[in-house]
Structure 1
Amino acid sequence: MSILTEALERISSGVHFTKQGMSLEEVERRLSFFPFRLSDEAYEFYQWAGAPTGDQMPDGWDGSYNDNSTYYCFLEQLLEGADDLIHFLSLEEAEKYYSPRDADIYDQKCLPFVSYENGQLVIVGSETQIETSPVLQREGIKDKLWFPSLTNMMLAIAEALETVGTILPELSRNYDDEDYGTDDYDNKIRKNCKIVGEIAQKYGYPRGIILTN
């Protein structure tokens, strides 16, 4: 079992989704729209995840951000109520986001992977086959390193779930908790945010964030 697959199995045990599964040939067919190759780990990810597809996609959708949570992806369950802010893209949606104009704007050709209100996370593609590739943050014209590889990002997600039960501690506040509003409760949230930040840094992102909105 590869490191990436092991991380995905760990994530699946924490959020109770099931492996979808898809052949490499089917994943390659679905990605044939993009004029570049993805890294081995990206193809492995989509084989494991079943190349997630959005359902109930509106006719004429132009690929711009919106908060329609019917665009289901198997990782959406990680967001704990924040799926109106952050969305893991299906391959069909990724195709909507990507356009030939990117060749004129960005040096690196990338697969849109996660959308949020101000931008995207993207997986870097290449002309030749490579084992791993960085995950970048795309806001405006400038791309910034988010994680050094998709594997590292999934390892960070898995460890955060196992350690504090969430990747978004600040958004996991439970208003029905009897301790809500107390100093102890706030200290717990701050402590969990610090832990998640340290985990993200451990896997290569210096700002200590796994996902962003």
Structure 2
Amino acid sequence: MSELTDELEYIFDWLKSTNLEMADCYNPGLTRQQIDKIVKDLPFKLSEEIYELYQWRNGITDLGFNNYYPLVEFLFPDQLFSSSPTSFCTLQYSISNYHDLWQLEQSTMMNKPYDNYTGWDQKWFPIASFENKRILYIVGDLDPSPIYLIDYIFLDNPLRVYKSLTNMISVIAECCELGLYQLIPDEYGEEDDMIIRIDEEKLELEKSIYRKYNS
């Protein structure tokens, strides 16, 4: 296995090792031929890392209500910036979402809200999203591509930039290994809902791990 797949498996094993009744809520991975067929109409090429990601798993499945649902979305944790997880999208949904975002951008460009408006670029491809308010995206035709975490209303000011998907997953895996994440009740959820968050006393360590892989 490659470094990326090794780290993805490490994170998933870490999730399974918790004392929770968790199921594998990710869809089975796709073949390269299936990915080629799904992405054939994109106006750019996806990086080998993105192919590897979707060969590992094809996003998270919709299980409906589940007390521990936020935990299985932990693959792309957003707990530093929001209490809501950023869901790992299926490739089919990412394609649909990409076209929706680009269509919206074309409409917006016809009537810019202000002179220096910077909108959604045609080569930005979303791989994870929380209601399109917060998005993880890669840049088409770059291999490897940086990973950008953004608030949609602040497109020109990313919350974080990772050098690559492998670098981002390596940060998350090392945080798991060093025990930076803690399981706590979700104060905004239903009774017994739980979420995983960075231990507030270890925020500086998380930032140093981020810099280690992305300086």
- In the superposition, the TM-score normalised over structure 2's length comes to 0.64
- 1:76 is paired with a residue whose SS is helix
Post-superposition Cα deviations, 1:30-78, rounded to whole Å, max 9, x if no partner, equal 22343211111111111111x2264379xxxxxxxxxx88xx8995145
Deviation at 1:201, TM superposition (A): 1.8
1:157 to 168, 172, 178: 172
Percent of paired sites with the same residue: 28
The RMSD of aligned alpha carbons is 3.7
Contact in 1 for aligned 2:148/2:162 (Cα 8 Å): yes
The one-letter code sitting in structure 2 at the alignment partner of 1:153 is M
The one-letter code sitting in structure 1 at the alignment partner of 2:12 is S
Gaps of 5+ in 1: 58-67, 176-187, 206-213
**Is it true that 1:198 corresponds to 2:208 in the alignment?**
yes
Return the structure number with greater strand share: 2
Q: 1:165 to 1:190 in 2, by over 3 A?
A: closer
The one-letter code sitting in structure 2 at the alignment partner of 1:87 is S
1 CA distance for matches of 2:199 and 2:62?
34
Gaps of 5+ in 2: 17-23, 110-118, 187-197
1 CA distance for matches of 2:136 and 2:122?
13
1:109 to 123, 141, 158: 123
- In the superposition, the TM-score normalised over structure 1's length comes to 0.65
Post-superposition Cα deviations, 1:75-133, rounded to whole Å, max 9, x if no partner, equal 5145599884432222232233212435764445122122236331101111xxx5411
Q: 1:56 to 1:33 in 2, by over 3 A?
A: farther
Give the structure 1 partner of residue 55 of structure 2.
47
The 5 A counterparts of 1:1-213 are 1-16=1-16, 17=24, 20-49=28-57, 51-52=58-59, 54-55=61-62, 76-78=73-75, 84-99=84-99, 100-101=102-103, 102=105, 105-107=119-121, 109-116=123-130, 118-126=133-141, 131-138=143-150, 139-140=152-153, 141-142=155-156, 144=158, 146-164=161-179, 166=181, 172-173=183-184, 189-204=199-214
> Matched residue pairs, number?
174
The one-letter code sitting in structure 1 at the alignment partner of 2:134 is G
Post-superposition Cα deviations, 1:152-185, rounded to whole Å, max 9, x if no partner, equal 011111111111152xx5xx4359xxxxxxxxxx
2 CA distance for matches of 1:120 and 1:203?
21
Contact in 2 for aligned 1:75/1:88 (Cα 8 Å): no
- 1:173 is paired with a residue whose SS is strand
Contact in 1 for aligned 2:60/2:87 (Cα 8 Å): no
